[in-house]
A and B are shown apart, each in its own frame.
Chain A
């Protein structure tokens, strides 16, 4: 089976057979969209919650808001049906902890919130998620059945 790698601030779509993977998600969030009927799968690896917060926003895949929109667009362009799309999300952990109020460290949590808001706005249901915590995750999406494998160091493997 061909496995397509998605890097940080990047997104890809494929049609079965095949799989999409992103390695070592930390505070970033991996968002998958899947159309069961056409077996079209998409994966975005976003880093920041909103493209509106900063000026330097030309890379759409970097942000939850524009990343999800672009992923949806790409999936529809190769034949996915919007009505049947479901989503799964993983990541958004807090790798380091401090006692202070620093906003930057809560970026994982903010990424998750922004992702959920955008998916809600687009009326795409989230069927499962593995988010938060303080550890990294590698995820692999099988385009054949839409199953999402989540691997960690010391926190087990699961299929969501």
Chain B
């Protein structure tokens, strides 16, 4: 039987939500430790969307966004992508460097910092996932790109395209003072790995 994200049930969504919670919690803690400031976090949302609606989550297909992409290996093979709007990315680097820079350009320091934050976030999720499922998992070094939302999001959409007509992702919000950061995390296991993952989590 072909597996489709459309068939996913409430229990699976709850497990993914919990995974998002733990992962984001760890990431927020790591971030707070790095900047020695309080970082607030909203309850992450698990979202399932039709392909054509995916770019809308970041304000439209042509809005410039930042994508940070990882290869996932170990007992599950797949990819992880962390996507955030340019504004969120800028807020994140401003939080990190404790500065007020309103320019929408990313310099080398910003890119390097964002890659590292992406790394922390992705690792936090992977660690939670690994702990919950008992599967051994590792991630590659990050690869970062800034471009139109449609183009960046086509990467996870295509990978989901192999297994479904919908895309599943976890939306996380952080806040430090008045600087808000909304990140969207796409976890895309390869076909064979998806079932293995759900099985290990006890929901399939």
Complex: A107 Cα to B54 Cα, angstroms? 19
B residues less than 8 Å from A104 (CB atoms): 79, 158-159
* Interface stretch (choices A12-20, A31-39, A78-86, A134-142): A134-142
Closest to A138 in B: B62
Complex: A107 Cα to B61 Cα, angstroms? 20
Q: Classify chain B: how many residues form its interface, as a range.
A: 20 to 34
Complex: A58 Cα to B161 Cα, angstroms? 11
CB atoms of A96 and B67 under 8 A apart: yes
Q: How many inter-chain residue pairs (CB < 8 Å) link A and B? A: 112
Closest to B157 in A: A8
Closest to A105 in B: B155
CB atoms of A96 and B62 under 8 A apart: no
* Interface stretch (choices B28-36, B90-98, B123-131, B143-151): B143-151
CB atoms of A27 and B163 under 8 A apart: no
Q: Which of A74-102 contact B (CB under 8 A)?
A: 93, 95-98, 100, 102
Complex: A134 Cα to B69 Cα, angstroms? 14
Chain B nearest CB: distance from A25 CB in Å?
6
Option from B4, B55, B69, B154 in Cβ contact (under 8 Å) with A47: B154
Q: Does B114 reach chain A (CB closer than 8 Å)?
A: no
Q: Does B51 reach chain A (CB closer than 8 Å)?
A: yes
Q: Which of B147-204 contact A (CB under 8 A)?
A: 147-155, 157-159, 161-165
Q: Which of B32-54 contact A (CB under 8 A)?
A: 51-52, 54
Which residue, of B69, B79, B158, B164, has the highest number of chain A Cβ atoms within 10 A?
B158
Query: C-beta contact mask, A46-72 vs B, less than 8 Å → 1, else 0?
Result: 011000011110110010000000000
CB atoms of B157 and A23 under 8 A apart: no
CB atoms of B143 and A98 under 8 A apart: yes
Chain B nearest CB: distance from A112 CB in Å?
13
Query: C-beta contact mask, A2-28 vs B, less than 8 Å → 1, else 0?
Result: 000001111000000000000111111
Q: Decide: A102 near B154, CB < 8 A? Known: A47-B161, A56-B163.
A: no
Complex: A116 Cα to B147 Cα, angstroms? 26
Q: Does B64 reach chain A (CB closer than 8 Å)?
A: yes
Interface residues of A (CB under 8 A from B): 7-10, 23-28, 47-48, 53-56, 58-59, 62, 93, 95-98, 100, 102, 104, 107, 134-138, 153
Known: A23-B61, A47-B158. 8 other contacts (CB 8 A): A8-B54, A8-B157, A23-B62, A24-B61, A26-B154, A54-B2, A95-B152, A97-B143
Pick the 4 closest A-B CB pairs, nearest first.
A24-B150, A136-B151, A26-B151, A7-B52
- In the complex, 27 of the A-B residue pairs with CB atoms within 8 angstroms, ordered by the A residue number, are A7-B52, A8-B157, A9-B161, A9-B165, A10-B52, A24-B62, A24-B149, A25-B154, A26-B147, A26-B148, A28-B154, A53-B162, A56-B2, A58-B165, A59-B165, A95-B152, A96-B69, A98-B140, A100-B71, A102-B71, A104-B158, A107-B158, A136-B150, A136-B152, A138-B62, A138-B148, A138-B150
